[in-house]
Amino acid sequence: MADSIPLNPVRKSSKTIGNYRSGRRSRFSLEDELSSLDEMPLMMSEEGFENDESDYQTLPRARGGRRSRGLGWFLLGGWKVLCSSCCDCLAHVCRRKKELKARTVWLGSPEKCEEKYPKNAIKNQKYNIITFVPGVLYQQFKFFLNLYFLVVACSQFVPSLKIGYLYTYWAPLGFVLAVTMVREAVDEVRRYQRDKEMNSQLYSKLTVRGKVQVKSSDIQVGDMIIVEKNQRIPADMIFLRTSEKTGACFIRTDQLDGETDWKLKVAVCCTQRLPAVGDLFSISAYVYAQKPQLDIHSFEGNFTREDTEPQIHESLSIENTLWASTVVASGTVIGVVIYTGKETRSVLNTSYAKNKVGLLDLELNRLTKALFLAQVVLSVVMVALQGFVGPWFRNLFRFVVLFSYIIPISLRVNLDMGKSAYGWMITKDENIPGTVVRTSTIPEELGRLVYLLTDKTGTLTQNEMIFKRLHLGTVSYGTDTMDEIQSHIIQSHPQITSQPSGGGASSAGSATPAWKTQPSGPKVRKSVRSRINEAVKAIALCHNVTPVYESRAAVNGETESAEADQDFSDDNRTYQASSPDEVALVRWTESVGLTLVNRDLTTLQLKTPSGQILSFLILQIFPFTSESKRMGIILRDESTGEITFYMKGADVAMATIVQYNDWLEEECGNMAREGLRTLVVAKKCLSEEQYQDFENRYNQAKLSIHDRALKVAAVVESLEREMELLCLTGVEDQLQADVRPTLELLRNAGIKIWMLTGDKLETATCIAKSSHLVSRNQDIHVFKPVSSRGEAHLELNAFRRKHDCALVISGDSLEVCLRYYEHEFVELACQCPAVVCCRCSPTQKAQIVRLLQQHTANRTCAIGDGGNDVSMIQAADCGIGIEGKEGKQASLAADFSITQFKHIGRLLMVHGRNSYKRSAALGQFVMHRGMIISTMQAVFSSVFFFASVPLYQGFLMVGYATIYTMFPVFSLVLDQDVKPEMALLYPELYKDLTKGRSLSFKTFLIWVLISIYQGGILMYGALLLFESEFVHVVAISFTALVLTELLMVALTVRTWHWLMVLAEFFSLGSYLASLAFLNEYFDRSFITTWPFLWKVSAITLVSCLPLYIIKYLKRKFSPPSYSKLSS
């Protein structure tokens, strides 16, 4: 792909060595050891990357220890060293973040905590009462433009520098600051009210004396908190107890990880078994929890009960945790708080909103600096031509103030009003209903985007799974042939239930043990009916889905699994699982006749079409992990005693596990091309001896302290051999409306799209294909999992050799690549037509956005719909939130909120493009308005012996900047070069904008030349034509100036709007009407004479006509791309 890029590891900063010297291990110490080996050849074995760090750490300290430090050393400069080291130490202590540590938490005893933990309060405010005014003023005056106006306005308090009236300088500046402060204050008050509402929520806390009500912000580590159904969990807790008989409950995590499905959480066995809630205080127990971490998908800890002999130890994992910001979906739960406030997983994964500044504002800021330089140079030239006589320094400053109109303060006012107008237009656009503009300062950013980073679930897809295909090897069933499967199930179940022999090995009513029914002779080919029955049964049994009966749970939560038919009313039942794929599969089995009616931690029940209940004991469950890519379950049929091991998973994981076949790989490829998510289903019958042997080894592996995960996986893998392949399923995740044409539109507009998702690699790849994020003829390079520098280097080399292919990479591999080869990886990834990052944490999403901003200097846009997308949305130059099923968190945190993904096309192509082009024209025109009057002032001063006297005073200057020219100039916000339909039809027009040609030093220079030409003509013309009195110069030049500005607006406009015409005539009328009252500046008897009229007309004609001719010739011989379309 980019063979020229050398793979040099990223060097870390030298600060880390300092950490070594101080004897502290940096958390990146391993990276730094490795980066010290940069000079080593990179194609070496993994052992070559190990490095003994002992000498690295001890050497500097050993040397330091040998130095003698006596009184002489202290007097001869040692005191300086001590003082500086004390200051450094103090600064380090002030800046240092508190180190996060593992902790031991005693149940219900916050006072036993060894350390002080943070307050459990939510705080999203940017300022407090003390920092508000300084903070807002800093945000305003850090821009050169505003700081410049402040200095000029302050200079008018000095009598010798005073030019004109104070109000001409302070009124516009005060207006801008007042509007900004009011806007910030309103936002700040809203944030404060939202925080107060969250922090004041009441919860029940268990104490020795019973329940007490406590505010969310007053909860401490060690408190035992009761959380009711549909209540938000206030802090990170360990799940001790639930009202559900099963000892498990569901929680909704959509605001934490963006997934809408419910998660099953299991209470600690020891506390769940206690007879009553009050017994939690009669036991002596504690929880050991690892230090707070970012990873929301993992947790390691232990629960220990001390007052029994022997002590009870239970290992705690992610399924025993209740993270803050999730919501209890079933039952009432009791948990012990382990992390609060800023140490909770949700806060650690949230980045704070930054003040976003548009690229156009930064470019205008640069241009104002250039204008200021020109202003200073012009002032110096004027003083130099005077010959530096008298108080020349004071004269220099007077000239600087005199030419201060080069940078007009109305630039800031006009642009801010323009931004508000664009926001109003976006909100009122009927083609994108429900769109909200939350940040009114950056609408132009929508027209400059190069990278679009999008979430998958709920943004590109609806997160609604539909079962589409069942393949049995010889026969395939689609949506139109499901009735055949249904008839097979209806026919086979009465046979199965009435005949106690034969049938499917795991599905029959056979009393013969399963291991005796496995014949050693040749296999009899099964009928299609029995194969369908086995496949459907396997799909109905192999999952983590739980049926929930809402109305019954509301009346009485203690449903017994043995209770009869009224439990199983179909209207009441909803399915919950950690994956919507599984729910789709179980819903499908229900539609064809096999219904999952009950499930708890140990049993599972199916209902057949004839109404009979089949009961199974759950012996073991092996949950899905991103490493194994499969899930398994071992069940015992209660009627026959048969033990069956069912497994389903991704084709890459299952291909080596199932018996040899010649169709699986081909059919998986076919389904993937249709955009379906595939799962391979298999089974294996186990004898009692086989199972007992497995169970002993499995339990032994689970108790081991070292390499527990590896040992457990090895034991499970011993079962996963020669499994019988039952079927292949295809499920479709429905895309949002018009996702494909929208993505194609964005691609044609030159926008590179990256999909960042927390979902599995296979699912992400599938959606990338079905949404046409990756086109059909494009190759996909799946970046292999890497865990070390050596592996990352080899994999990057392999990726570099690929050309024009999309990249798919997991979050873990991405982290390794960024640690060692950040620059190289980003450079390679940016050359890909599309990038898919799966298994991304919220923090990683934000990190990727920041990387693109740093390495490419292009504008980024992030779009998402869940709480897990907030960090990414806030980090991007432009954040767009979708109001979806995952709540409003993303939409509230975003700069723009839309209701559907397809609206982004119009938002960028029409509104983004128009906003940028209009602001560019408006900004340059306002500058032109300032430069033309400064040119006239320069000509006037040079003619009148370089006197630092203003040409126009008082109301003339105020009127020129406001009532005489403001409305026509501001009406440029209504201008458009092409119709919206044309902009959507030719997205290539958008591509031009990213180059920034509408506002560049080239276009700016053209406007400077126009201003110098027109200013010179107006002033010299007036001086040539004036008669005897000086007052006539003012009258002629000012009238010609106002007319020139109105004609220049007409020259700049590309599409006329009735309001523009109205503004032109209103301004002209206002000026003519005001001539009657401006006796102090104009001679009324002169301005009504014929010589005045022809002189003004002649000057105006000479200043504007050549520009009109040039514009006509340019459009004739070198038309811009948009004019070709509009014609």
For residue 744, count other CB atoms closer than 10 A to its CB: 15
Element (H, E) at 701: helix 688-703
Alpha carbons within 13 angstroms on the beta-carbon side of residue 1105 total 7
Cα dihedral sign for 142, 144, 149, 151? positive
235 token code pair: 């802090």
Query: What are the catalytic residues?
Result: 455
536 token code pair: 């459907």
Residues 492 and 964: their CA atoms lie apart, in Å, by 89
Kindly state the DSSP code that residue 579 receives in the 8-state scheme. -
Backbone phi, then psi, for 1071, in 5-degree steps?
-65, -45
Residues 450 and 623: their CA atoms lie apart, in Å, by 40
Element (H, E) at 95: helix 79-95
For residue 397, count other CB atoms closer than 10 A to its CB: 18
Residues 369 and 143: their CA atoms lie apart, in Å, by 10
| Residue 247, SS3 per DSSP | coil
The angle that helices 167-199 and 144-155 make with each other, rounded to 10 degrees, is: 130
Cα dihedral sign for 141, 147, 149, 150? positive
Residues 218 and 220: their CA atoms lie apart, in Å, by 6
Type of residue at 942: S
Nearest Cα to Cα of residue 411 among 444, 363, 358, 364 = 364
Cis peptide before 310 (omega within 30 of 0): yes
For residue 243, give every residue at least 6 positions away whose Cβ sits within 8 Å of its Cβ, in sequence order, or none.
Answer: 331, 332, 333, 557
Distances (CA, A) of 537 to 497, 530, 607, 646, 1003: 14, 10, 11, 10, 71
Q: How many residues does the chain have?
A: 1127
For residue 1027, count other CB atoms closer than 10 A to its CB: 11
For residue 970, count other CB atoms closer than 10 A to its CB: 22
End-to-end alpha carbon distance in the chain = 41
Residues 735 and 756: their CA atoms lie apart, in Å, by 16
913 token code pair: 């493009």
Residues 84 and 78: their CA atoms lie apart, in Å, by 10
CA angle 1020, 1025, 1030 (to 5 degrees): 85
Residues 984 and 988: their CA atoms lie apart, in Å, by 9
Secondary structure (DSSP) of 277-323: GGGGGTS-EEEEEPPP-S-TT---EEEEE-SSSSPEEEEE-GGGEE-
210 token code pair: 């019973």
